[in-house]
Amino acid sequence: MINQIKIFKANAIALELFGAFTEADALFIEQLFEKKLFEGYDHVNILIKVKDLSIIKEMKLNGFFEGELWGIKHFGKIGRCAIVSSSDILKSIVNLEGKILHLFNSALVEKYFDEINLKEALEFIAPSETTN
């Protein structure tokens, strides 16, 4: 399931993933992303909050494929990407992935934040907006 954490005026989207990730969730993310692109932004900044890697066990196959297709289609349109979690494994993955993916999309800056630093992560994706 998807929960939109905060709605931004600028080119940012903040989401929390929990429970089963479905095809409908993937389509919801795509709609939010497309809306920002339609508003004229070249890149969309995104925050994804996940508890840990257990989200993978709960992911529905169609949701996984829709998410992967979306990621491939929009990869060049992602700007700042904040991953918020409490997982050391996920932290390691994000740190490595961010360095590699930046080689293929120079606008992409991926950064890991611990859950207690959610406010900082929100400021990272939308520095021009005040966060609560």
Interval 54-105: pLDDT, tens: 555 555 444 444 555 566 666 788 889 898 988 888 788 888 877 777 777 7
CA 52 to chain CA centroid, nearest Å = 14
Sketch the domain layout of the chain as residue ranges: 2-125
pLDDT band at 35 (very low <50, low <70, confident <90, very high): very high
Q: Residue 114's closest CA among 54, 53, 72, 51?
A: 51
- Predicted pLDDT of residue 26: 78
β-strand 44-50 against 78-85: which pairing, if any? parallel
User: How confident is the model at residue 66, as a pLDDT?
Assistant: 54
Mean pLDDT to the nearest integer, 12-29:
83
Q: What is the pLDDT of residue 115?
A: 92
pTM of the model: 0.82
Can you give the pLDDT at residue 70? 60
Beta bridge partners of 88: none
* Residue pointed to by tokens 């800056």: 109
**130 pLDDT band (50/70/90 cuts)?**
low
Burial bucket for residue 128 (CB in 10 Å: 0-12, 13-18, 19+): exposed
What pLDDT is recorded for position 60?
Answer: 47
pLDDT given for residue 96 in this prediction: 80
Q: Write the CATH number of the domain with boundaries 2-125.
A: 3.30.750
So what's the pLDDT on residue 11? 94
